[in-house]
Amino acid sequence: MEEGEVKRFILKLAPVYWRQLAPTEGLRRLCLIGVLKGEKPRPSKWVAYPSFREFGSALRKALEEGPVEVYGSLELHDLETAGVRARVLAFDVDDDENDLSSLKQVYEAWRVLRDELGVSAVVKLSGGGLHIEGPAIEGMGARENAALAGFIEKRLGGKVRFCRKIYSKGRMFRLAWSWHAARSCFATPLHPEWLLEYGIEELRERARDPMVLEWIFDSLRVGAKVVDAGKLESVLKLLAPPAAELKVLALKEKRRVGGWREAVDPKLGRVRYSARLEGYGWVRALIEEGCVLPDGRLTLCWLVLPEAAHRGVITLEEAKEYVRKSLEQHPDKPLEEYLKKLEYEFERQRGRAYGLPTWLSLIYGRKKVPGKREWSGEPLDEAYEHVKYPVLLALAEKGLVKLEPGQLEALKGLTVRVGL
């Protein structure tokens, strides 16, 4: 990514940083805007910004010098007393202590948190390694958090090691969506299932891709929570009885992108669509809503699904299951033929992708020019048109695209039911 593009994206992320620094009324995480690696802890630089206005002003000023990283303390401080009232539940899978050639063990750690400790955590690429982050909890300190780290390590037979440095006094934790200067990527939230599909280098590549970053930002729900406080409390009482009664703070949730937007299709004219389709959300919606295409299924298997899986929009297993369900409704060709095409293209596109279009690029039929809002780039390959209109029809049937009666008839005419 070019420096200007990185800085624009960082500025766009300011509200996301702020929700992490000010998760609830009256409490703040100390913040550091800058590059922390290689420096000794310098608490004098850490600031508990009282308002988003002051934080935003500091971020904009820092960006004048170039892209910056954003860190937050794991402790939450009371603005009135300056005392520590809560702590963010956190685990650091550092690459110096773990073999990250496979990330299955990190997924298993996330599962232990969910199934045995009752915590639905967020997994994010930190840059060098991975972070697993829960909500802020009153009555839990660094000692209790470290004890939980040891519990998970033991449950997994030592297959994963958590860095203990983050549990020492005065440590900072890279915020979700922080820029990582050394790796030239963003600390991106991840679907936990991606840990089973991709390696650490593949995740880093996605965290450098502007289109993927936009899609994750718009579509991925980010918000850790305790779903079973009884499980967490019972384990902590056995490991390290907390000094105070545990209380999960009511955090601000990231608002889900919603509403309706408009775009102009060259053949249908103005169409309304759900905002969740933007970026690569249209591919995700096909999978989640079970949108079966009346036409263009084989084209989808070689032109869209493999690259969407490589970019992390969906997993390869999700793509295969989608194809299976599609063939149940339209059994025009043997399932093996579709899966063979999908798997072949998935392997082939490891080194040469076609360029998965975003939603608006698909509608306009042109590639997006990086750094610009207009889709004025060169035309998409005409093969995408064979997918676009069946996709529009399938999404319209699920209520994600709104069409006038005349447009619907025209769309059906553009969708030739040949099952290819």
The first and second tokens of residue 418, run together, are 């040949």
pLDDT of residue 221: 61
Q: What number does CATH give the domain 3-248? A: 3.90.920.10
Nearest one of 179, 174, 171, 173 to 62, comparing CA atoms:
179
Domain residue ranges in the chain: 3-248, 260-414
The first and second tokens of residue 78, run together, are 């009371």
Taking the CA atoms of residue 73, residue 77, residue 83 and residue 86 in that order, the dihedral angle to the nearest 10 degrees is -80
The first and second tokens of residue 206, run together, are 């996605």
**Separation CA 261–CA 271 (nearest Å):** 8
Given a contact cutoff of 8 angstroms between Cβ atoms, the answer to whether 109 and 91 are in contact is: yes
Average pLDDT over residues 110-123: 93
Kindly give the residue spans of alpha helices, DSSP state H, lying in 222-315: 229-239, 281-288, 297-303, 305-310
In the predicted model, what is the mean pLDDT of the chain? 86
Residue 419 has pLDDT above 50, yes or no: no
β-pair type (119-120, 84-93): unpaired
**Separation CA 219–CA 132 (nearest Å):** 19
Nearest one of 278, 280, 276, 272 to 258, comparing CA atoms:
276
pLDDT band at 217 (very low <50, low <70, confident <90, very high): confident
**Separation CA 312–CA 284 (nearest Å):** 10
Residue 407 has pLDDT above 50, yes or no: yes
Question: Exposed (0-12), middle (13-18) or buried (19+): which is 174, by Cβ within 10 Å?
Answer: buried
**Dihedrals φ, ψ of 310, to 5°?**
-65, -35
Question: 381-403: per-residue pLDDT in tens?
Answer: 888 888 899 999 999 999 999 98
Helix, strand or coil, per DSSP, at residue 69: coil
Question: 148-200: per-residue pLDDT in tens?
Answer: 999 999 999 999 999 999 998 878 899 999 999 999 999 999 988 889 888 89
DSSP string, 91-124: EEE-TTTS-TT--HHHHHHHHHHHHHS-EE-EEE
The residues near 336 (Cβ < 8 Å, ≥ 6 apart) are none
The residues near 352 (Cβ < 8 Å, ≥ 6 apart) are none
pLDDT band at 95 (very low <50, low <70, confident <90, very high): confident
Helix, strand or coil, per DSSP, at residue 135: strand
Question: 352-381: per-residue pLDDT in tens?
Answer: 767 888 898 899 888 766 555 555 578 888
**Separation CA 47–CA 139 (nearest Å):** 23
**Residues written for the chain:** 420
Query: Distances from the Cα of 172 to the Cαs of 10, 45, 185, 223, 316, in angstroms?
Result: 19, 11, 19, 20, 36
H/E segment holding residue 413 = helix 405-414
The first and second tokens of residue 271, run together, are 């169409």
The first and second tokens of residue 125, run together, are 């690429």
Residue 226 has pLDDT above 50, yes or no: yes
pLDDT of residue 250: 56
